[in-house]
Amino acid sequence: MDVVKIRMQVYKTGLVDTTKNTIKEQGPLGLYTGLSAALLRQITYTTARIGFFNTLSDICEKHLGRLNYPTLVSLGMIAGMIGALIGTPADVVMVRMIADVHLPPEKRRGYKHAVNGLIRIAKEEGVLRLWTGSIPTTGRAAIANGAQLGTYSRSKMFLKDSGLLEEGLLLQFIASLMSGIVAATASLPIDIAKTRAQNWKESGKPPSVGRMLLMISKGEGPRALWRGFLPYYARIAPNTVITMVCMDQLTRLYLTHIRR
């Protein structure tokens, strides 16, 4: 889904055409282009954002008691920004690996894997180039994680308080789906600006987030800011469900069997 979404954003094609062209040109495995960078991004970005969110939530609950929705969203935004700064280098490599196939042969980067991409960018373009698009990346992460983590925690509270569901897998699953919809809708425009900035091939630095969003809106119409929504949500929904459910279940196992 990430491969399809990024190629839709960069090359301005539709969902069906992008998927068909990718399979036609690269075969089914073409849908997993950049997998090593995607995994590295999850290892760095996801562990950081969830770890910081849980830590910050625990600290605030000790001092403030039960947290309201705005507080949970704010903590999610802070955790997301920290995680994004840590995960941006892997994100840059992933975007470039996915977009590489449609570039002219002489302009292709040809990274062998994520580590090779990190080393080559640092050597050929400078270490700071690894944080290309860090501002839109942190902006997207702030919005996405504020919506995702904040909504997940608040949805669980609401579903339990209203008596609709009790603590368990079903509660975690429903709350994850709810948070995924909010996160995808809120963060996709910033995600598009981030993708365009990281794959910028024109001379000079890429435009700022605001200018990039304005350029896309003016040149392609406001709806273009949500281009790739279906693959984006199709990626973010299972990602949210698996991440949140595993996090809660692993926490329960830890508290039950290790931290007694």
Return the pLDDT at 260.
64
User: For 113-131, how does the pLDDT look when each residue is reduced to its tens digit (9 = 90+)?
Assistant: 999 999 999 999 999 999 9
Q: Both tokens of residue 49? A: 């954002």
At residue 66, φ and ψ (nearest 5 deg) are: -65, 130
Return the pLDDT at 254.
86
Residues 88 and 119: their CA atoms lie apart, in Å, by 14
pLDDT higher than threshold 70 for residue 56: yes
Other CB atoms within a 10 A radius of the CB of residue 190 amount to 23
Number of compact structural domains in the chain: 1
User: For 167-210, how does the pLDDT look when each residue is reduced to its tens digit (9 = 90+)?
Assistant: 888 999 999 999 988 988 988 898 888 888 877 777 777 788 78
Mean pLDDT confidence for 230-246: 87
Angle subtended at Cα 113 by Cα 143 and Cα 225, rounded to the nearest 5 degrees: 30
pLDDT higher than threshold 70 for residue 91: yes
Residues 114 and 148: their CA atoms lie apart, in Å, by 27
The enclosing domain of 133 has a CATH number of 1.50.40.10
| Cβ within 8 Å of residue 217, ≥6 positions away | 224, 225
pLDDT higher than threshold 90 for residue 92: yes
Residue 230 is part of which domain span? 2-258
Least trusted range by pLDDT, from 2-6, 31-35, 81-85, 215-219: 2-6
Say if residues 209 and 137 touch (Cβ distance below 8 Å): no
Say if residues 109 and 94 touch (Cβ distance below 8 Å): no
Terminus-to-terminus CA distance in the chain, angstroms?
41
